[in-house]
Amino acid sequence: MPDRAPVEQVLARGDREGRSAMIVLGVDRFRSIGESLGHAAADDILAALAARLHATIGPGDTLARVGDDELTVLCENLSDSGHAISLAARLVGAVTGPVVVGEQELFLTASAGVAFAGAGAPATSLMRDASSALYRAQRRAPGGV
């Protein structure tokens, strides 16, 4: 389970101007990539992806790695839930494509799940809901939201 502390801090500040959203992004088949190339290569891949993702998120969004193959983006004070859904699609697009590791070029895809919370919502619920949405997206079609 991802670390709840950043999510709890976001929700504890209050949600006076809008809702919060959590996007959980999973790199498809990442565990098998890590097993075949090694953990150092897997970390290099995530570092390259983090740079792409940072260029995609907005100034009020927070990107964090919460698992071996999962990253989250916290969006605060949303006036429109469409922003988080659109951002999730852009994040999936940012991951999709080639990444060079050593002398190998890998073509990656990702899936995303999005959950929303209002003021006072427990962080555990937000993370559980976003993770559930990710797993549903991965089952439907890898590379989806």
For residue range 69-127, list pLDDT tens digits in order: 788 898 887 878 888 999 999 999 999 989 988 888 999 999 999 999 876 677 778 88
Q: What is the distance between the alpha carbons of residues 73 and 59, in angstroms, rounded to a whole number?
A: 12
pLDDT tens string 2-27: 455 555 665 565 544 557 899 999 98
| Domain harbouring 42, CATH code | 3.30.70.270
Residue 145, in any domain of the structure: no
Q: What is the pLDDT of residue 117?
A: 84
Q: pTM for this one?
A: 0.83
DSSP letter for each residue of 77-91: EES-HHHHHHHHHHH
Residue 58, in any domain of the structure: yes
**How many structural domains does the chain have?**
1
| Both structure tokens of 36 | 């075949």
Q: What is the distance between the alpha carbons of residues 42 and 21, in angstroms, rounded to a whole number?
A: 27
Find the domain containing 83 and state its range.
5-139
Residue 79, in any domain of the structure: yes
Residue 80, in any domain of the structure: yes
Residue 144, in any domain of the structure: no
Identity of residue 103: E
